[in-house]
């Protein structure tokens, strides 16, 4: 069974701090990795994707991938209350299907 694991949280950070969200996966053949943000009552919105080892930055967001450790993370700098949401990690394996983690609920407190 291919698994994607996330801490369910909630992860609480003060406004302006760095939020660090983590995800591990079991399928060593996984090729691509995605982070989705989901506000309560809304559908998931793609915010970052990463295919290669290392860091990928987009604005306040940085995705980090370590395939050897089967670990992917999302850093949110200068966290804002509007970043409060559930963040879903998704992994695409060799079969091209996306497997989603359970999500981490982030709360950014003013």
Partner 1 sequence: SAVISQKPSRDICQRGTSLTIQCQVDSQVTMMFWYRQQPGQSLTLIATANQGSEATYESGFVIDKFPISRPNLTFSTLTVSNMSPEDSSIYLCSASGTANEKLFFGSGTQLSVL
User: CA quadruple 20, 30, 54, 38: dihedral positive or negative?
Assistant: negative
State the binding string over 13-52 for partner 1 (x if CB under 8 A, else -).
Answer: ------------------xx-x------xxxxxx--x---
Phi, psi of 82 (to 5 degrees): -70, -10
Answer yes or no whether residue 102 interacts with partner 1 by CB under 8 A: yes
Using the structure block, give the residue that is written with the tokens 């053949």: 29
State in angstroms the smallest separation of the CB of 98 from partner 1: 6
**Binder to partner 1 among 29, 69, 82, 96 (CB under 8 A)?**
96
Q: How wide is the angle at C-alpha 51 spanned by C-alphas 22 and 25, nearest 5°?
A: 40
Q: How far apart are CA 35 and CA 47, in angstroms?
A: 6
Answer yes or no whether residue 97 interacts with partner 1 by CB under 8 A: yes
Our CB check for partner 1 shows the closer of 71 and 100 to be 100
Q: What is the rounded end-to-end Cα distance, in angstroms, of the chain?
A: 40
**Binder to partner 1 among 65, 90, 91, 106 (CB under 8 A)?**
90
CB 54 within 8 A of CB 64: yes
Using CB under 8 A as the criterion, which residues of the chain lie in contact with partner 1 when the complex forms? Answer: 31-32, 34, 41-46, 49, 88, 90, 92, 96-98, 100-103
């Amino acid at each position: 069974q291919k698994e994607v694991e996330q801490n369910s949280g909630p992860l609480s950070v003060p406004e302006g701090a760095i939020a660090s969200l983590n995800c591990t996966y079991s399928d060593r053949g996984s090729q691509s990795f995605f982070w989705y943000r989901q506000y309560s009552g809304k559908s998931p919105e793609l915010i970052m994707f990463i295919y290669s080892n290392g860091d990928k930055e987009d604005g306040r967001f940085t995705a980090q991938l370590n395939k050897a450790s089967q670990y992917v993370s999302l850093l949110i700098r200068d966290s804002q209350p509007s970043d409060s949401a559930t963040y879903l990690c998704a992994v695409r394996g060799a079969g091209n299907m996306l497997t989603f983690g359970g999500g981490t609920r982030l709360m950014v407190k003013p």
